[in-house]
Amino acid sequence: MATTIDYHKRNSENKLDYNVPLTREAFGHDFKWGVATAAYQIEGAVNEDGRSDCVWDVFARKKGKIRNGDHARQACDFYHRYEQDLELVKELGFGHFRFSLSWSRILPDGHGRVNQPGIDFYNKLIDKCISLRIEPWITLYHWDLPQALEKSGGWKNRRIVEWFAEYASVCALAFGDRVHNWIVLNEPMAVAGLGYTTGEHAPGNKGIHNFLPVVHHLALSQAEGGRVLRQILPDARIGNAISCSYVYPNSRSAADVRAARRADALMNRLFIEPALGLGYPKDAFPFLSNIKRFMREGDRERLKFDFDFWGLQNYFSVVVQHSYLAPVTWLKEVPATLRNVPTTALGWEISPAGMYEILKQFGRYKGVRELMISENGAAFKDKLKEGKVEDSGRRAYYQEYLSAVLKAKNEGLNITGYFAWTLLDNFEWAHGYSARFGLVFVDFKTQERTVKDSGRWFARFLKKVEI
């Protein structure tokens, strides 16, 4: 019989011995400290200045897709409040601000006609960052596909590679004179898995038949986007941001260990390996061999791009076991809530050891030049009481995860930056406003902002000032 892994033991075995006190200086003077956001989650103003619908606008209008029937028509109203919000970024001590561009603000039909007011908005935002001496980081695509493109099949249609290349070139030409750091795609796995296979995210397409073509078109687009940016902006730093979670098998049985390798192929290897020229990770997950049906001559080369950096987005680790009930993957996750481990409000395991392990895992790729944490953060049930939000859980989460990053860095990994997710409580996709991830609390009725204790902690940590 398989021996079950004792999680308490695993946690204590994996207790990181940090040794070094957590200070800003310990990361080195050129380490980049930033905060990350995404257009759809904060901007609002969905019908303003010529923006067209994206897939999330349409998805949110359907019954039962978003918790409590929430929508992002106003979200954090960042479209109108970006100046004050950037001042908050400054106040918290961050020198880098990551935001994404709304494709349907810039190209309302997905391609072709450029909407100048959309360009103007991002120009003002970039200029405000620069005036505050905050370095702007652009993510080209953070899940808000123009609905016009979804009507033509969206990520299922191979023509998306051309549409995306056109969008990337419009953005590079418009903003590249002032923006040095670019991220091509945000978490393509979420698009393929949640958006086109389980249907939990927009556009809500369901079916395993969508998975492989969508993965392939995303993987081609990440490389193509990189090439377009590099051609137009030869001096820019170009990266890609992928989700990753260290995968533990539930037991030492061969079946669970193989299940963990399949989960690892899907969650961690799927998008980086084709870019590095290693192909899709079929060795661990033979189902991926079927992707050849969507490959054309020359695609193996087209999938490659030498990114300047890889952005890793890590929130939790996972435990998986073999399952006969899950055709295709033959695995299931053992939820953290059943494992007697600490979790966040979304039931995600708090696992700084997992952050450390996943960094080490990515550090082993030969073709990776530079790693950074492009997102990390946690949802907790925050309460605003007498003008304060005492979110000690989040503060501890950040301290522990940062210690794990520091340990991996001190062991020689080239980790050059860290972006907290996120500045403001915002539209957390299918969870609507029920999950709060911000360093700043937002009252969605009044749009009033209150810096949480975790935000104050960052200000002390980064600037050594009380705010």
Verify whether residue 333 is a known catalytic residue. Answer: no
Q: Is 375 in the site for ligand BGC (CB under 6 A)?
A: yes
236 in Cβ contact with 183 (< 8 Å): no
Q: Is 240 in the site for ligand BGC (CB under 6 A)?
A: no
Q: Is 425 in the site for ligand BGC (CB under 6 A)?
A: no
Beta carbon of residue 317, minimum distance to ligand BGC (angstroms, whole number): 15
Residues 6+ apart with CB under 8 A from 151: none
264 vs 375, beta carbon nearer ligand BGC: 375
40 vs 307, beta carbon nearer ligand BGC: 40
153 in Cβ contact with 195 (< 8 Å): no
Q: Is 243 in the site for ligand BGC (CB under 6 A)?
A: yes
Both tokens of 187, joined, read 């978490």
Q: Which listed range, 1-9, 182-190, 359-367, 440-448, lies at the site for ligand BGC (CB under 6 A)?
A: 182-190
Given the residues 43, 357, 375, 400, the one annotated as active site: 375
Answer yes or no: is 428 a known binding residue. Answer: yes
Answer yes or no: is 135 a known binding residue. Answer: no
Answer yes or no: is 447 a known binding residue. Answer: no
Q: Is 428 in the site for ligand BGC (CB under 6 A)?
A: yes
Of the candidates 105, 101, 106, 97, the residue with the CA atom closest to the CA atom of residue 129: 97
Residue type at position 20 = V
Residues 6+ apart with CB under 8 A from 12: none
Beta carbon of residue 105, minimum distance to ligand BGC (angstroms, whole number): 18
Answer yes or no: is 186 a known binding residue. Answer: yes
Of 313, 314, 317, 416, the residue at the interface with ligand BGC (CB under 6 A) is 313
User: Which secondary structure element, helix H or strand E, spans residue 33, and what is its range?
Assistant: strand 32-36
Both tokens of 205, joined, read 């397409």
Strands 440-443 and 448-451: antiparallel
38 vs 423, beta carbon nearer ligand BGC: 38
Beta carbon of residue 374, minimum distance to ligand BGC (angstroms, whole number): 9
* x-or-dash string of contact with ligand BGC, 2-41, rule CB under 6 A: ------------------------------------x--x
Answer yes or no: is 231 a known binding residue. Answer: no
- For ligand BGC (CB under 6 A), the number of binding residues is 11
Of the candidates 337, 44, 64, the residue with the CA atom closest to the CA atom of residue 199: 64
Nearest-angstrom CA–CA distance, 441 and 421: 13
150 vs 187, beta carbon nearer ligand BGC: 187
Report how far apart, in Å, the C-alpha atoms of 196 and of each of 112, 191, 206, 210, 260 are: 25, 7, 6, 6, 23
Q: Is 56 in the site for ligand BGC (CB under 6 A)?
A: no
140 vs 291, beta carbon nearer ligand BGC: 140
Beta carbon of residue 186, minimum distance to ligand BGC (angstroms, whole number): 5
Beta carbon of residue 133, minimum distance to ligand BGC (angstroms, whole number): 26
Of the candidates 235, 241, 238, 216, the residue with the CA atom closest to the CA atom of residue 227: 238
**Can you state the angle between helices 453-463 and 392-410, rounded to 10 degrees?**
40
Given the residues 43, 91, 187, 400, the one annotated as active site: 187
DSSP string across 121-189: HHHHHHHHHHHTT-EEEEEEESS--BHHHHTTTGGGSTTHHHHHHHHHHHHHHHHTTT--EEEEEE-HH
Q: Known catalytic residues? A: 187, 375
- Give binding residues for substrate as ranges: 41, 142, 186, 315, 421, 428-429
For ligand BGC, the binding residues (CB under 6 A) are: 38, 41, 186-187, 190, 243, 313, 375, 421, 428, 437
- Give binding residues as ranges: 41, 142, 186, 315, 421, 428-429
